[in-house]
Amino acid sequence: MGITRRSLLLGGAAAVGLPGALAGCSIADDGSGSGGSGGSGSALTMRIWDQTLQPAVQKSIDGFKAANSGVDVRVELVPWASYFDRLPADVAGGTLPDVLWTNSSNFGTYVDAGTFVDVGAELGEATSGWQSSVVEQYTRSGTLWGVPQLSDAIGLFYNRDLTTAAGVDPATLAWGGTMDTFLPAAQALTVTGGARTQYGFNAAYDLQAIYYNFVGSNGGQWQGEGDRYVFADDERSVEAIQYVVDLINRYRVAPSAADTNTNTDFSRDQFTQGNMALFQSGTYNLKNVADGAQFDWALAPGLTGPAGRVLVTNGIVAVGNAKSSRLDETKELLRWLGTEEGANPIGAEGAAFPAVTAAQQGFLDYWKGQGVDVQPFLDAAAAEKTMGAPRGPKAQIGSTAAEPALQEVFAGRLPVAEGLKQAQDAANAAIEA
């Protein structure tokens, strides 16, 4: 399924990165693969995968060490390509770091095996200061298993020059039904047949930025009871996917699936090069756009649908090794990471949106200083109605099984209803195997 650059709703071979983020890099400074104090290390170890955020994480850790004299902590950087491949060996070999990041599709199995600290039991009093959607995302079996660190929210980037010339107000766009204002706008913003192609919108096989939001804003479901996939049986989900596929293959207001099915950066690059008017994406692309776009751009709220504005929220948490040889210090580090002081460095330079709510103002202030109003992201993160990220301990397995049929649907080579049924059957068979 579609994958974000930093949050990575679902892992897989198609993972791509921000400039410098998730890139191949050595572990620690010398490329060695030493584990945390769950093994024999003399310092607590915190493992992350994002090179761009490493300086911010290090600043937080430096603050923790200053407040806890005598406690040493090492930040360990492991590339995304091998990050989750290492976990089974680390668990089996007793070399799991004391604290590590995880995403939603790679934590359920370990929770069920008793690998992680029960954050709800240990730090329950702190949860009121954490973004509720991330708390809900990482609550399993009635308790919370991670300290929220990063959060992604969805908004609509737009090229102000192009939308103004076409008379389009991006803040008012709604899709579907008899009052569809989005499709006419996307058509007005699309230019084909000449020396230059201009796309109206980034409709694509992109879970987090595109099709999950259309499903949610049409009142549809992707998963149901027991984490089973139900999208092919839900007529609202089928209708939403049909709408997105039509944007690509019928109305041609978006790049072809041949360009976007396996390259989730294609649309972003078209937008930053001035060849796309509307680009729905998340906080994970904010710095990319700011660094790459050489034109007047701004943010509007994500698209509204027949069921309202229902957008994807997704988070990353820090989890603790329940078998750490320094468990008390591990819990104190987790507690620190969930405080305003511990989370402030994450948002202070605008590289990521903190999931500790008191630290979100720093993110807002940074981008205000850059002349960018990121309020649409904050509003999306705080919305009552959201589209939850894929869930269940076998979410990655199900997604991988569904992908071939879904890509054929987006390419227009399989009818939507037929392709979704194939994808759903494959996904359910995979998670039940």
Alpha carbon distance 349, 340 (integer Å): 15
Alpha carbon distance 36, 331 (integer Å): 14
Average of per-residue pLDDT values in the chain:
89
In the block, tokens 């400039």 appear at: 19
Alpha carbon distance 93, 114 (integer Å): 15
**pLDDT tens, position by position, 64-102:** 999 998 899 999 999 988 999 999 999 999 999 999 999
- Residue 429, pLDDT above cutoff 70: yes
For residue 122, what pLDDT is reported?
Answer: 94
C-alpha neighbours within 13 Å on the C-beta side of residue 45: 24
320 - beta bridge partners?
99
Q: How confident is the model at residue 9 (pLDDT cuts 50, 70, 90)?
A: low
Helix (H) or strand (E) holding 418, with range, is helix 416-432
- Residue 22, pLDDT above cutoff 50: no
Report the percentage of the chain scoring pLDDT > 90. 76
**pLDDT tens, position by position, 370-426:** 999 999 998 998 888 999 888 888 888 999 999 999 999 999 999 999 999 999 999
Q: How confident is the model at residue 300 (pLDDT cuts 50, 70, 90)?
A: very high
301 - beta bridge partners?
155
Taking the alpha carbons of 61, 62, 68, 72 in that order, is the dihedral positive or negative? positive
Q: How confident is the model at residue 185 (pLDDT cuts 50, 70, 90)?
A: very high
Alpha carbon distance 182, 174 (integer Å): 5
Amino acid symbol at 2: G
The domain covering 44-152+314-387 belongs, at the CATH homologous superfamily level, to Periplasmic binding protein-like II (3.40.190.10)
Taking the alpha carbons of 172, 177, 180, 182 in that order, is the dihedral positive or negative? positive
In the block, tokens 């769950």 appear at: 38
For residue 52, what pLDDT is reported?
Answer: 86
Q: Which structure tokens are listed for 304?
A: 């509204």
Alpha carbon distance 240, 47 (integer Å): 38
Non-local CB neighbours of 264 within 8 Å, separated by 6+ positions: 2, 3, 5, 14, 16, 204, 206
Contact 385, 310 (CB under 8 A): yes
Q: How confident is the model at residue 5 (pLDDT cuts 50, 70, 90)?
A: very low
Packing angle between helix 340-348 and helix 54-67, nearest 10 degrees? 150
Q: Regarding predicted confidence, which is higher, 396 or 2? A: 396
- Residue 366, pLDDT above cutoff 60: yes
Task: For residue 324, give Cα distances in angstroms to 88, 93, 303, 415.
Answer: 16, 13, 45, 51
Contact 277, 298 (CB under 8 A): no
Q: Which structure tokens are listed for 106?
A: 């790679």
Alpha carbon distance 106, 22 (integer Å): 16
DSSP 104: G
For residue 393, what pLDDT is reported?
Answer: 85
Q: Regarding predicted confidence, which is higher, 295 or 128? A: 295
Ranges in the chain annotated CATH 3.40.190.10: 44-152+314-387, 154-312+394-432
Amino acid symbol at 164: T
For residue 360, what pLDDT is reported?
Answer: 92
**pLDDT tens, position by position, 204-259:** 999 999 999 999 999 999 999 999 999 999 999 999 999 999 999 999 999 999 99
Read out DSSP for 229-288?
A: B-GGG-HHHHHHHHHHHHHHHTS--S--HHHHSS-TTHHHHHHHTT-BSEEEEEGGGHHH
Alpha carbon distance 219, 200 (integer Å): 25
**pLDDT tens, position by position, 161-184:** 999 999 999 999 999 988 999 999
For residue 13, what pLDDT is reported?
Answer: 30
Q: What angle do CA 378, 247, 206 make, to 5 degrees?
A: 50
Mean pLDDT to the nearest integer, 302-309: 97
- Residue 30, pLDDT above cutoff 50: no
**pLDDT tens, position by position, 129-147:** 999 889 999 999 899 999 9
For residue 211, what pLDDT is reported?
Answer: 98
DSSP 177: S
Mean pLDDT to the nearest integer, 324-340: 97
C-alpha neighbours within 13 Å on the C-beta side of residue 29: 1
Query: What pTM was computed for the model?
Result: 0.86
- Residue 18, pLDDT above cutoff 50: no
Four-point Cα dihedral 280, 281, 287, 288, nearest 10? -80
Q: Return the CATH number of the domain spanning residue range 154-312+394-432.
A: 3.40.190.10
Q: How confident is the model at residue 10 (pLDDT cuts 50, 70, 90)?
A: low
Taking phi over 0 as left and psi of -120 to 50 as alpha, with beta for the rest, 213 belongs to alpha
Q: Which structure tokens are listed for 43?
A: 């310092």
Contact 209, 2 (CB under 8 A): yes
Q: Are strands 44-48 and 99-102 parallel, antiparallel or unpaired?
A: parallel
